[in-house]
Amino acid sequence: MEPIKVRVCVGTNCCFAGGESIIEALEDDADLAGFVKVEAIRCLDKTCAGGAESPVVTVGERLIKRATLEVVMEEIERQALPLILGAPDEEGRDA
Ligand code: FES
């Protein structure tokens, strides 16, 4: 089982808008251990639009602008649920 990759921008705009606190909260959440890999990144090709869209977070392939911890956790739960429940893989085998 591959952990869900969560990338949190800690560029200047996103850091001031709460990116750093999102990383800390995710890293401190023991329930996420093994399910989530958190990574700090720098400005995502100016996705933040000069800070208007900060903080920027990706959960798996989903890009979240103006991210809050609540929205990030909801997306993690949505993506992790099949892993937790042991959903069948593409070939129909249980995890
Ligand atoms: S500073 Fe975070 S995307 Fe630009």
- Tens digits of residue pLDDT in 16-50: 999 999 999 999 999 998 889 999 999 877 899 99
Q: pTM of this prediction?
A: 0.86
* Within-domain flag for 94: no
- Tens digits of residue pLDDT in 44-77: 778 999 999 999 999 999 999 999 999 999 999 9
In angstroms, what is the span from residue 52 Cα to ligand 1's centroid? Answer: 10
- Domain region containing 30: 4-85
Number of domains making up the chain: 1
9 lines ligand 1 (CB under 6 A): yes
At 87 the pLDDT is 60
Strand partners, 41: 9
* Within-domain flag for 90: no
* Within-domain flag for 93: no
48 lines ligand 1 (CB under 6 A): yes
User: Would you put residue 65 in left (φ > 0), alpha (ψ -120 to 50) or beta?
Assistant: beta
* Within-domain flag for 91: no
**Closest ligand 1 atom number to CA of residue 19:** 2
Looking up residue 44, the CATH number of its domain turns out to be: 3.40.30.10
Residue 56's H or E segment, with its range, is: none
